[in-house]
């Protein structure tokens, strides 16, 4: 076992767990001393791990605090891409969610627990808060009853041992802060017999129900999705479970079953066929991190911190020399090995992984001999013919804590950096019904400055961010907007002619930026660039705003355009890794 990799993974698990908990309380970072307490490792070891992770932009060091960085989600993306479940099943799940008008999820077994890998939920005041990567104990949810029906005695024994230990609430990421409820369920004397009975019933009837086991008021029905060809393990085994989740204010268990079962069963048959067909296709040429279906080139889709499969950035030779003994190269290499599992490799051998990472076979072997017993990778077969596949526990390495980040939180540090670079206020906005809505802002403290707050709304047509966002729309949506908008003159410079406005937006689409001078307000000018998501679409816009008397338009372009582009590219890179398998709110 590679000691530095083992210890580094322990620090990552603790960081993810503590970040999730502190995030709920509104605290942005985890004190390094808390990681020492949580892992039992010496402070010097934790510091070396954090230095190594920070050098690869996987964590943000903020004084004595540390927080997971967006690039860390690449580890979870590698598991999700390699599993193929989100890529193949998400559209099926979306269609079911639309038909039921309820939340629909896909879950996989994770030892004696259940891990969610797809989640589509309607926007309601009362809606399930499960996220991709969340973990629930098997006895607390309908998918767990289905999975337990196939457990061998080793899994049952491990589950009984877990139930015998009072739960702290830290283990299950879908229930932060609910330690008392988890303790009551996980240690009750009848937990063992109940799950045995429930799992047997689920096997007999072909579906399982959860009547407020996870949370009061929450009910669910789950149906197994089987591996009909054995491409993912054993033919006929339950590969995952699709579940419909509702609330007692809308359904009883019986009414939910009456609604869902007639549609779920044929949908599951289609899912099983789609998974079988996908397995027959073999490795997806050039696909990575969930972008196969989108047709995105992997070298551009993958964050720069990860490099490419042939030359991982974490393995650059100068890093060890530059950072000295504090840099744990074996940890960096082990994490790089995890990212080699993606849609390009189906059941890779040791040699496949060595070629994908550029690492020596001996290094890959040592990494696998650490990852396999720790439950992050599964080995099928022995000797030279052995193949390997990532396991859902990889999602514990920061993925779930990062799913709490919204667009504003992702952009904020980049806006602060932009403000410090140019000395002007920086903002991020999205398009909402023909208006821009500010979602993040880093303002200056000048006597004369632009006074706008997060949540503020402005019309799109006279603003730089609005024009960038309009330019990023599909042609039909853009023309629909131009056909209904009625611009009014906010200043003597405001463009109100639709034909001229259309030409300006087309020029913005061509040039990649918008400069607006005194059209929204006298004396105000701003410069904006688009921010793109994992699918390459303009999802937001970043700008700097300043008083028009300080810089002419050519001067503003000369001084501000490159810093704004740099900030937009950095935010886009973070969005790419964070939105590969989840929408960004």
Give the pLDDT of residue 401.
Answer: 82
Q: What's the burial of 180, exposed, middle or buried (CB within 10 Å: 0-12/13-18/19+)?
A: exposed
CA angle 381, 385, 388 (to 5 degrees): 60
Give the pLDDT of residue 280.
Answer: 76
Give the pLDDT of residue 319.
Answer: 56
Distance CA 232, CA 226 (A): 10
Q: Where in the chain is the domain with CATH 1.10.10.10?
A: 3-77+285-402
Distance CA 243, CA 93 (A): 9
The fold adopted by the segment(s) 82-281 is Beta-Lactamase (3.30.450)
* CB atoms near residue 261 (< 10 Å): 15
Q: What's the burial of 189, exposed, middle or buried (CB within 10 Å: 0-12/13-18/19+)?
A: exposed
The residue to which tokens 């921010």 are assigned: 531
Whether 464 and 426 have beta carbons less than 8 Å apart is answered as: no
The residue to which tokens 């400055």 are assigned: 449
Distance CA 131, CA 121 (A): 10
Please tell me the CATH superfamily of domain 407-578, with its number.
Answer: GAF domain (3.30.450.40)
Whether 313 and 302 have beta carbons less than 8 Å apart is answered as: no
Whether 133 and 399 have beta carbons less than 8 Å apart is answered as: yes
Give the pLDDT of residue 190.
Answer: 42
Residue among 444, 441, 468, 464 at smallest CA distance from 519: 464
Residue among 527, 497, 502 at smallest CA distance from 512: 527
SS3 content of the chain, % helix, strand, coil (to 5): 50, 20, 35
The fold adopted by the segment(s) 3-77+285-402 is Arc Repressor Mutant, subunit A (1.10.10)
Q: Where in the chain is the domain with CATH 3.30.450.40?
A: 82-281, 407-578
Residue among 38, 37, 71, 64 at smallest CA distance from 50: 64
Identify the bridge partners of residue 349 per DSSP, sorted by sequence position: 387
Whether 469 and 438 have beta carbons less than 8 Å apart is answered as: no
Each residue's pLDDT expressed in tens, for the chain with a length of 585 residues: 779 999 999 999 999 989 877 654 556 689 999 999 999 999 999 999 999 999 888 999 888 899 999 999 999 999 999 999 999 999 999 999 999 999 999 999 998 899 999 999 886 655 556 788 899 999 989 999 999 999 999 999 988 888 877 655 445 555 433 333 333 344 343 444 489 999 999 999 999 999 988 888 889 999 999 999 887 778 889 999 999 999 998 999 999 999 999 999 999 999 999 999 988 776 544 343 333 333 333 333 333 333 333 344 444 444 555 566 678 889 999 999 999 987 677 789 999 999 988 899 999 999 999 999 999 999 988 877 899 999 999 999 999 888 778 899 899 999 999 999 999 999 999 999 899 999 999 988 764 455 678 889 999 999 999 999 999 999 999 999 999 999 999 999 999 999 999 999 999 999 999 999 999 999 999 999 999 988 889 999 999 999 888 889 999 999 999 999 999 999 999 999 988 887 766
Distance CA 210, CA 139 (A): 9
Residue among 549, 552, 486, 481 at smallest CA distance from 515: 552
Whether 115 and 88 have beta carbons less than 8 Å apart is answered as: no
Distance CA 13, CA 41 (A): 13
Give the pLDDT of residue 128.
Answer: 58
Whether 531 and 491 have beta carbons less than 8 Å apart is answered as: no
Q: What is the pTM assigned to this prediction?
A: 0.85
């Amino acid at each position: 076992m590679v000691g530095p990799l083992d210890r580094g993974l322990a620090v990552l698990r603790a960081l993810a767990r503590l970040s999730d908990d502190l995030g709920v309380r509104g605290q942005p970072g985890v004190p390094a001393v808390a990681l020492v307490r949580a892992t039992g490792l010496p402070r010097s070891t934790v510091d070396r791990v954090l230095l190594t992770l920070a050098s690869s932009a996987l964590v943000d060091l903020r004084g004595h605090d540390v927080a997971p960085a967006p690039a860390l989600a690449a580890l979870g993306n590698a598991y999700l891409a390699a599993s193929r479940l989100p890529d193949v099943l998400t559209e099926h799940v979306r269609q079911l969610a639309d038909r039921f008008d309820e939340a629909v999820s896909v879950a996989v077994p994770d030892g004696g627990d259940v891990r969610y890998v797809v989640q589509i939920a309607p926007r309601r005041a009362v809606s399930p808060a499960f996220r991709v990567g969340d973990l629930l104990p098997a006895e607390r949810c309908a998918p767990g009853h289905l999975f337990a029906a196939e457990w061998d005695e080793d899994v049952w024994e491990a589950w009984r041992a877990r139930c015998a230990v009072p739960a702290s609430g830290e283990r299950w990421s879908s229930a932060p802060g609910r330690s008392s409820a988890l303790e009551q369920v996980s240690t009750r004397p009848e937990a063992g017999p109940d799950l045995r009975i429930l799992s047997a019933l689920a096997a007999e009837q072909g579906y399982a129900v959860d009547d407020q086991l996870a949370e009061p008021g929450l009910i669910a029905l789950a149906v197994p999705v089987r591996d009909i060809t054995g491409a993912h393990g054993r033919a006929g085994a339950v590969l995952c479970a699709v579940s419909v989740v509702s609330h007692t204010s809308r359904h009883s268990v019986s009414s939910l079953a009456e609604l869902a079962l007639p549609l779920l069963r044929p949908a599951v048959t289609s899912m099983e066929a789609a998974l079988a067909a996908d397995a027959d296709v073999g490795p997806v040429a050039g696909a990575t991190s969930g972008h196969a279906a989108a047709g995105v080139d992997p070298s551009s889709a993958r964050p720069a911190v990860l490099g490419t499969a042939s030359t991982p950035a974490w393995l650059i030779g100068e890093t060890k020399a530059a950072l000295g003994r504090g840099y744990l190269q074996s940890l960096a290499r082990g994490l790089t090995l995890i990212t080699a599992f993606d849609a390009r490799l189906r059941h890779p051998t040791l040699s496949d992984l060595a070629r994908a990472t550029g690492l020596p076979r001996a290094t890959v072997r040592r990494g696998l001999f650490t990852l396999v017993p720790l439950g992050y990778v599964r080995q099928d077969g022995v000797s030279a013919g052995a193949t390997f596949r990532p396991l859902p526990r990889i999602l514990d390495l920061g993925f779930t804590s990062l799913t709490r980040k919204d667009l504003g939180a992702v952009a904020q540090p980049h806006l602060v950096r932009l403000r410090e670079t140019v000395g002007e206020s920086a903002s991020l906005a999205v398009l909402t019904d023909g208006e821009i809505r500010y979602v993040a802002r880093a303002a200056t403290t000048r006597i004369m400055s632009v006074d706008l707050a997060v949540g503020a709304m402005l019309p799109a047509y006279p603003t730089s961010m609005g024009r960038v966002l309009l330019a990023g729309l599909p042609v039909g949506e853009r023309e629909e907007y131009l056909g209904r908008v009625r611009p009014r003159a906010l200043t003597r410079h405001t463009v109100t002619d639709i034909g001229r406005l259309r030409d300006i937006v087309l020029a913005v689409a061509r040039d990649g930026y918008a400069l607006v001078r005194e059209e929204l307000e006298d004396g105000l000018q701003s410069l904006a660039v688009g921010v793109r998501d994992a699918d390459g679409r303009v999802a937001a816009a970043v700008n700097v705003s300043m008083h028009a008397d300080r810089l002419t338009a050519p001067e503003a372009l000369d001084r501000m355009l490159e810093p704004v582009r740099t900030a937009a590219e950095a935010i886009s890179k973070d969005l790419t890794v964070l939105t590969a398998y989840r929408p960004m709110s």
